[in-house]
Amino acid sequence: MNSNPNDEPLSELRDNIDKIDRELVRLINQRAQHVIEVGKIKQGSNIPIYAPHREAAVMKKIADLNADGKFPQEALEAIYREMMSGSFKLEQPLRIGYLGPVGTFSHLAATRKFGACVEYENLRAIEGVFEEVARGHVDYGLVPIENSIGGGINETLDAFLQYHDRVNIYGEVRLAIHFCLLSNGKPEDVKRIYSRPEAFAQCRNWLATQYPNAQRIPAESTAAAAKQAKAEFDANSDSDSAAIGSSLAGEIYGLHPMFEAIEDRQSNITRFLVLSPQETEMSARDKTSIMFTADHRPGSLVDVLGVFKRNEINLSHIEKRPSREENWDYTFFIDIEGHRKDPRVATVIGEASAHCKSLTVLGSFPVGEGVL
């Protein structure tokens, strides 16, 4: 029997990879020993286990070290996120609250951010995430704040009106939103589709082309939609149901992705906030979220925003919600560049507050550089 001429060099390359793998595992465990010592110091000094500014510094360092590397940057970042997740488990197990049920995009964002080695708490409402963080029942919470297509999330903005003095914005996560049509039937048999109204809106053109006559049935979440569709298949294997949701929801509830990436805009991104009772330290690049109600007089909003313009501080985001204090009185939410502990930023915020009935800094945190 003739041997393949590629067998010997292939075997040699695989042996080299095996040697490197052994060395990688040894070094990872050596790193873990240092992590354990760091955890002991943190616990003795009441230092937060999760530090966004430190996370940002590590990710930048890894990007710089890999500038001329062959390994894909996004894959290397994913590896380091899981290493950080393992470090949390070694230092002190963390509990992360998110907007449930299991399989939502909030759940997906939380797992992408914090990895496989933390505990996740399925909370049924955005206000519930705020409440559990404020009570200390979870270490951190994750809530959606805006979508690149649908705009701001009113439930989150409204929750800040109630919880602004009990929680801080501790970080942000940007997640690419890719919808799947989930089902265990055949594409031509689909007659009913479950999902959130927002998901239907973000897949409107695709649905109009592929399933113009299918009944669209609203659900409280994309995960609940997947759960309902699976229940109907369990009751009747010839069900004509489907759901629009994440690939994670399909995996969890046992539905197959019949079609993937069905959203009308491939640049569909949702930004999430990480909530904590603590404040963050400064990083290389930060933003600060502020909530304020302007004086009830002509030009007051212009005066507030003019302070930031005059001091050349960029506003990257603005939303408004009814203030709940009196009719036609609004609370504005803005993001500015910089950290509230930066003396220049602190001075400008103080100047702006002079034009406001009330002004609250909701948090300063590292800018979310990548999309998960």
The residues assigned a catalytic role are: 270, 272
The phi and psi torsions of 217 (rounded to 5 degrees) equal: -110, 115
Integer Cα distance of 324 and 4 in angstroms = 77
Q: Residue 303 is encoded by which pair of tokens?
A: 């005066």
Integer Cα distance of 279 and 340 in angstroms = 10
Task: Using alpha carbons, list the distances in angstroms from residue 314 to 109, 305, 320, 347.
Answer: 27, 10, 18, 15
Nearest in space to 188 (alpha carbons), one of 258, 244, 122, 248:
258
Integer Cα distance of 226 and 329 in angstroms = 40
Identity of the amino acid at 140? Y
| DSSP codes joined into one string, 15-82 | HHHHHHHHHHHHHHHHHHHHHHHHHHHHHHHT--S--HHHHHHHHHHHHHHTTT-SS-HHHHHHHHHH
Q: Residue 64 is encoded by which pair of tokens?
A: 């710089």
Look up tokens 């897949």; give the residue.
203
Going edge to edge, which strands form the sheet with 315-322?
315-322, 330-337, 286-294, 356-366
Let me know: does 153 contact 104? Beta carbons within 8 Å: no
Integer Cα distance of 201 and 263 in angstroms = 9
Q: How many CB atoms lie within 10 A of CB 13?
A: 10
Q: How many CB atoms lie within 10 A of CB 322?
A: 14
Nearest in space to 366 (alpha carbons), one of 292, 298, 273:
273
